[in-house]
Amino acid sequence: MTAQASTTSHRLLRRLRDIMGGADLSSQNKLDFIVKLIAADMEADVCSVYLVRGGIFLELFATHGLNLSMVHRLRLNIGEGVVGDVAANSRPLVLSDVKSHPSFKLIPQSNEEKLISFLAVPLNRRGKVIGVLTLQTLKKRLFTNGEVEILQTIAMVLSEMIVAGELINRHEFHITGSGDFHDLKLWGISLNPGLAYGTAVLHHPHIVVKQLISEDTHTELNRFDQAVQAMQESIKTLFSKSFLQNTEHREILETYEMFAHDRGWLTRIKRLIETGFTAEAAVQKVQRDLRIHLSRPNNSLLRDRLWDFEDLANRLLHHLLGEKDIVATQDEAGIIIVAHSLGSAELLEYENYGICGLVLEEGLQTAHVSIVARALNIPVVSRIPDVLGKIEPGEIILMDGNTGLVTLRPNSRTLMNFESRHHHFSKKHALAQEIQNQPAITLDGIEIDLYLNAGLLIDIEQLKITAAKGVGLYRTEIPFMMQHEFPTVETQVKLYSELRHAAGSHPVIFRTLDIGGDKALPYLRSMEDDNPVLGWRAIRIGLDRPMLLRYQLRALIQAAAGKELHLMFPMIAELEELLEAKRLLGLELERTQKHKKRNPPSSIKIGIMIEVPSIVWSLSSILPHVDFVSLGSNDLSQFFFAADRTNPYLADRYDVLSPSFLNILQHVAKTCKIAQKPLTLCGEMARNPLEAMALLMIGYRSLSMAPSCIGNIKLMIRSLNLKSATEYLQTITKKYKKTLRQDLSDYAKDHHIIY
């Protein structure tokens, strides 16, 4: 920017601030003064502001030079006219003769017939067009680059003022309607399934502390003590009213309440107050220090603790300022909370405001908030980058917790389709509840074994409700990730014994630790890994740290004393890894047998989880060494397609229902059938009815999934003639197709299969 342009820009911005400071002026008057100021300062005959309304059109909100009676009456579709072109393309437009532009459109009664030159810049907020700022002149003139930069600077400030509600009511222009232009799709990771429709409520707990240095330390300490007491009492009251207090989730609430009384962080805050900080400033400094200390990459336990401490610190700040912890309003359609992260207590408070969904930038299945959301049956989608920067308060959000898709500002067609799906989902959910205890048998009499995936005691307790055959996958790493230190053998024995007792006579397949990648243990030192998903993880860690694996095997053996033990090794890539894992198991069995007071298991069934493509083609040589096989479709598919399934850019690119991937799955099924080894598929494919139907067609007879998915899969199975469906699949795989999804969907509709 030139020196002259810089001077003009600064002068304009100073005068802009003066106008905004006018307390006696209405928002419309301020906007009117601003366009008049810009026109005069930039020697233009016309200056106008258009704002996006409903997501599909621009409305004239203020003008100097055009017909004033057109304000709030003149509307242009996105892409209509030169103003609409600027909004559609989100870039400045400079024209010495506006009528020569192909998008030019003369608006009757606007008084712009004699106007010749044109300059317009978009009003942007976080990458989203919210309006257009224009200049027009009667004489032919080519606006300079310096003038474009000045107008862009003004537009930037104007955008912030508009969004902050300083010029107009912030809800006045929020895009909540229809239109393909703003039918924006965001992909994340599903943490809890379900569909949700509601208005966005942004969880912004950050508070700006204006006074850092105290005037009276004694007064600040008293204020702090009172705020701490009020916070602790409010948490106690909140938890006492929650039905979770009488469930297995009580431990999560007790842990949170323990943090609220933790002397460590409260003492650190007091010491800072004693050095001269205000109570608020001291709280925020400790909060920042904890954030730095606990925000270590690949450390899920510390991240979970950080989210709880962030929640507590914000609660304490609200009590110091005399504000409510949660500020939200109920909406008939329900509210969807959008947050960077969230504490479990905050989620419980939002429950009082009709929360129907949760969208997070950070979050894991093992996080406390995810576990509580599961108990409250709230769909959760996580790992959407900069989610707070992409969603505005009050916007309509459609959430698909089954696929991890979040749709913003849906157009009428998307909204209609979603409402139809939501109605279908609700109806199907009711049917699924009715047949939960009934067997999973197809119309032609073929029984399918359905198992649960589990990682917590709450999942095991779903066995009776769902009438599942057993636990097809128990993720032993999840309790490890929730511990502060490596669990002793005794601790593990107690845990596994409780799980076995909860399962009763149902078999439980224990998968040994699948740690590494995004499941790091905070107390286990791991090596730097450029690609952790393909690096040092799962059985590779267990074989390189044999005592870690042996301690777990020892605990599993002791917990299964006198009973059958089902043991599965993950991430096996070659026969030698399996043989070494079995050798370590043999050593632990010998150790148990030498101990006279301990009984070994009555028998041990050993299995592997197929996740690495290399094992598929050597499966015949592996099978003689195992008793059963599980296939992990999540990892196998991402290794097969060389595509990270957590990458939003690749989420919709490759399909597990492609003939190529189904072929590899079918090869595994046939090989296991010939060897007479039981095969179960665990993963996302098992939980989605259409994918599960395809699995049955290619020979799978055993599926393991999250407890909440059992009912829907049973509905599909009980409405399916498997013999006819298998014959149909054989006819459509003769020619190359990128995916069979549409074919299978059409077949299901035509044959009244509930999916």
Q: Are residues 274 and 340 in the same domain?
A: yes
- Extract the tokens encoding 5: 């342009």
Q: Check: CB of residue 364 under 8 Å from CB of residue 370.
A: yes
Percent of the chain with pLDDT over 70: 83
Q: Are residues 227 and 152 in the same domain?
A: no
Collapse the DSSP code of 503 into the 3-class scheme (helix H, G, I; strand E, B; otherwise coil) and give the result. Answer: helix
Q: Are residues 635 and 588 in the same domain?
A: no
Q: Check: CB of residue 409 under 8 Å from CB of residue 184.
A: yes
Least confident range from 163-177, 513-527, 530-544: namely 163-177
Q: Roughly how many angstroms between the first and final C-alpha of the chain, as a whole number?
A: 60
Q: Residue 332 maps to which CATH number?
A: 3.50.30.10
Least confident range from 272-286, 292-306, 363-377, 414-428: namely 292-306
Mean of all residue pLDDT scores within the chain: 85
Q: How does residue 181 score in pLDDT terms, banded at 50, 70 and 90? A: very low
Question: Is residue 687 one of the residues assigned to a domain?
Answer: yes
Show the CA angle centred on residue 644, arms to residues 643 and 649, nearest 5°.
85
Show the CA angle centred on residue 749, arms to residues 743 and 750, nearest 5°.
85
Burial 363-395 (b: 16+ CB within 10 A, else e): bbbbbbbbbbbbbbebbbbbbbeebbebbbeeb
The alpha carbon of 521 is separated from its chain's Cα centroid by a whole number of angstroms, namely 22
- How do residues 13-60 score in pLDDT, each as one tens digit? 677 767 766 667 788 888 999 999 999 999 999 999 999 886 678 999
> Measuring CA to CA, which residue among 487, 468, 484 is closest to residue 702?
468
Q: Check: CB of residue 279 under 8 Å from CB of residue 320.
A: yes
- How do residues 317-334 score in pLDDT, each as one tens digit? 988 988 765 555 555 568
Would the pLDDT of 499 be above 90? Answer: yes
Q: Are residues 358 and 215 in the same domain?
A: yes
User: Which residues lie closer than 8 Å to 469 by C-beta, 6 or more apart?
Assistant: 449, 450, 451, 506, 507
Show the CA angle centred on residue 392, arms to residues 391 and 394, nearest 5°.
120
Amino acid occupying residue 477: E
- How do residues 543-579 score in pLDDT, each as one tens digit? 999 999 999 999 999 999 999 999 999 999 999 999 9
Q: How does residue 353 score in pLDDT terms, banded at 50, 70 and 90? A: confident
- State the Cα–Cα distance between residues 748 and 743, nearest whole angstrom: 9
Would the pLDDT of 688 be above 80? Answer: yes
Q: Residue 15 maps to which CATH number?
A: 3.30.450.40
Q: Check: CB of residue 606 under 8 Å from CB of residue 572.
A: no
Q: Are residues 384 and 506 in the same domain?
A: no
> Measuring CA to CA, which residue among 508, 479, 454, 503 is closest to residue 251?
479
Q: Are residues 134 and 197 in the same domain?
A: no
Collapse the DSSP code of 546 into the 3-class scheme (helix H, G, I; strand E, B; otherwise coil) and give the result. Answer: helix
- State the Cα–Cα distance between residues 121 and 92, nearest whole angstrom: 4
Could you count the other beta carbons within 10 Å of the beta carbon of residue 339? Answer: 24
Number of domains in the chain: 4
- State the Cα–Cα distance between residues 710 and 725, nearest whole angstrom: 21
Question: Is residue 621 one of the residues assigned to a domain?
Answer: no
Q: Which of 112, 138, 172 is the last residue of a domain?
A: 172
Q: How does residue 365 score in pLDDT terms, banded at 50, 70 and 90? A: low
Query: What pLDDT, on the 0 to 100 scale, is given for residue 387?
Result: 84
What range does the domain containing 545 cover?
452-610
Least confident range from 145-154, 165-174, 398-407: namely 165-174
Query: What pLDDT, on the 0 to 100 scale, is given for residue 727?
Result: 96
Q: Classify the C-alpha dihedral 397-402-405-410 as positive or negative.
A: negative
Higher model confidence: residue 637 or residue 425? 637
Q: Which of 148, 172, 196 is the last residue of a domain?
A: 172
Q: Which of 610, 643, 675 is the last residue of a domain?
A: 610
- State the Cα–Cα distance between residues 244 and 554, nearest whole angstrom: 34
Q: Are residues 86 and 163 in the same domain?
A: yes
Would the pLDDT of 205 be above 60? Answer: no
Higher model confidence: residue 167 or residue 735? 735
Average pLDDT over residues 364-382: 78
Q: Are residues 191 and 139 in the same domain?
A: no
Question: Is residue 153 one of the residues assigned to a domain?
Answer: yes
> Measuring CA to CA, which residue among 714, 707, 633 is closest to residue 666?
633
Question: Is residue 18 one of the residues assigned to a domain?
Answer: yes
Q: Are residues 141 and 214 in the same domain?
A: no
- State the Cα–Cα distance between residues 404 and 18, nearest whole angstrom: 46
Q: Are residues 114 and 146 in the same domain?
A: yes
Question: Is residue 499 one of the residues assigned to a domain?
Answer: yes
Would the pLDDT of 297 be above 60? Answer: no
Question: Is residue 436 one of the residues assigned to a domain?
Answer: no
Question: Is residue 446 one of the residues assigned to a domain?
Answer: no
- State the Cα–Cα distance between residues 622 and 630, nearest whole angstrom: 13
Question: Is residue 219 one of the residues assigned to a domain?
Answer: yes
Q: What string of DSSP letters covers 25-76? A: S-HHHHHHHHHHHHHHHTT-SEEEEEEEETTTEEEEEEEESS-GGGTTT-EE
Q: Are residues 188 and 161 in the same domain?
A: no
Task: Classify residue 119 by its DSSP letter.
Answer: E
Would the pLDDT of 302 be above 60? Answer: no
Q: Are residues 703 and 748 in the same domain?
A: yes
